[in-house]
Amino acid sequence: MRKKGFVPLFSASILLTLPEGVEYRSAVNSFLENQGSRSQPFFFNPDGETVTIGLVRELLRHSSFARAASEPQTLIVCAVHTTTVPAQNALLKIVEEPPANTQLILATYPGRTLLPTLISRCREIIWTESNDKPTASSPPEQESLKKFLIQPEAFSYSELIDLAETFKDNQLTQQVLRAISRQLAADNDQPVTSFVRRSLLAALTALEKNGNIRLVMEHCLLQIRQQAAST
């Protein structure tokens, strides 16, 4: 029986960030079990070596057979952050359009770098372990930003600056901005929500170009606060 609040696993390709140093196979299996998945998992690069274009081609060949499979399958690429740039480009096609009955999971550790085009096409999940049982969680920066967006005009300028300074890691900040932008997409017809989303995406673009994290976030938050105060 599905758990309350269960999100179907076969909804999008997943970028799964695991705790630093955990063993890929056991951690991903725990994630799948927690999600209630009954699909058959196939691991690629479980030892965490460099993911080459050859391995990606092997994955693509395997996925082509999945189209005729009657049972769901989950294809897991471990240590995806070790993937060469040509191999990441080759992954894009299957990430964008997984075969029927196929779930793709790209497993990595925190703070690792991937092509923005690859990240943007995945549903990002951060997986932590507590009491030997993994639980999905959002990073504290994401929760703080969500609280700000509920009533941005209530934040003083100094509080806004303090919030911007909590964002220190470029990749994590990009991940947070993408996650919240996707959540806002459903309300994109609302003028205020649309403005907020455009502001977050503009900040994301600046960070992808290696903009200064604190200054980018300060500018973004200030824009949103000013817009909220004027409406």
* Close Cβ partners of 22 (under 8 Å, ≥ 6 residues apart): 129
pLDDT at 91 over 70: yes
Check: pTM over 0.85? Answer yes or no: no
**Can you list the alpha helix ranges (DSSP code H) found in the chain?**
24-34, 53-66, 85-96, 116-119, 140-150, 157-165, 170-185, 191-208, 213-230
Question: What is the pLDDT, as a whole number, of residue 185?
Answer: 63
Per-residue CA distances from 38 to 74, 134, 156, 171 (Å) = 9, 18, 49, 32
User: What pLDDT, in 10s, does the model give residues 97-140?
Assistant: 777 778 899 999 888 888 888 888 888 888 875 434 444 457 88
Burial 70-108 (b: 16+ CB within 10 A, else e): eebbbbbbbbbbbbeeebbebbeebbeebbebbbbbbbb
Question: What is the pLDDT, as a whole number, of residue 23?
Answer: 87
Question: What is the pLDDT, as a whole number, of residue 70?
Answer: 61
More confident residue, 11 or 154: 154
Question: What is the pLDDT, as a whole number, of residue 12?
Answer: 61
Per the structure block, which two tokens stand in for 158?
């100094």
Select the highest-mean-pLDDT range: 15-24, 108-117, 184-193, 214-223: 214-223
